[in-house]
Amino acid sequence: MSRLSYRLLILIFSGLLAACATGPAPVETGTTNTSKSFSTVVVDAGHGGKDNGAYRKFGGAEKLATLDVAKRLSRRLRESDLKIVMTRSTDVFIPLEQRVAIENAQKNSIFVSIHFNDSRRRGIHGFETYYHSANSFDLAHRIQSKLMTIPHSANRGVHSANFRVLRLAKYPAVLVECGFLSNRLEGGEARDSEYREALADRIAEAIVEQRYGPSVYHASKGAVAQPPGEGPGLAPSSLKHD
């Protein structure tokens, strides 16, 4: 080997080493990470109108349960100084593409989709939370953990999924399955307004904690009994200057 080709080889080799040192290209998550800075929450009530979602005698139509929980969740979050955009606030059918358009139109946002689950096996019960991008994992995990504080809840875990509203999201996005309408106990609970309030309360707590940190969220009246004189919780006024 000539001296020149040897030096050339060294050059190529060190070039390769330098390329390796920068590590693999970052994984394309497809989202802007607003999971700690968001000012808007897009609340998505699953199904609606001609699309009932699941329909079981214990729990009734999924579309009605999702809308009620989504409204309660929106109310809780507004109390914590977050801007709320609902993909629907009445019993109407919204195609998935339109839901994606609504979620992506909100800058500096996160997206939370509310659903109830269904199974042929009536014994199956518990909560599941889904995400797609790595930027959404924290939020999904936090929501799942807070739901687990509901008495008798069962943990069916946090999973990644290719649902369109998650896959096409520009910002962190999660989908929460708030229990199985096909299960006698959870289906019955899904009809109960106090239980829906508890679901909304835990999800709101997780979202507020994700944004502002622990101990900021105060459960509202109706969700948890509060000492007299204390109104619905608000984010501390210092946070308004963020």
- In the bound state with Zn ion, the residue whose beta carbon lies nearer, of 130 and 212, is 130
Rounded CA separation 135/138 (Å): 7
- In the bound state with Zn ion, the residue whose beta carbon lies nearer, of 53 and 179, is 53
* Closest separation in Å from C-beta 237 to Zn ion: 38
* Closest separation in Å from C-beta 70 to Zn ion: 12
Rounded CA separation 117/18 (Å): 50
Return the residue of 35, 48, 53, 203 that touches Zn ion, per CB under 5 A: 53
> Using CB under 5 A as the criterion, what x/- string covers residues 106-125 for binding Zn ion?
---------x----------
Strand partners, 159: 130
Rounded CA separation 124/144 (Å): 17
46 in contact with Zn ion (CB under 5 A): yes
* Closest separation in Å from C-beta 39 to Zn ion: 27
Q: Collapsing DSSP states into helix, strand and coil, what is residue 41?
A: strand
* Closest separation in Å from C-beta 54 to Zn ion: 6
187 in contact with Zn ion (CB under 5 A): no
- In the bound state with Zn ion, the residue whose beta carbon lies nearer, of 46 and 187, is 46
From the list 13-21, 27-35, 47-55, 86-94, the region that binds Zn ion by CB under 5 A is 47-55
Total residues contacting Zn ion by CB under 5 A comes to: 3
- In the bound state with Zn ion, the residue whose beta carbon lies nearer, of 72 and 115, is 115
| Closest residue to Zn ion using C-beta atoms | 115
* Closest separation in Å from C-beta 100 to Zn ion: 16
- The site for Zn ion (CB under 5 A) is made up of 46, 53, 115
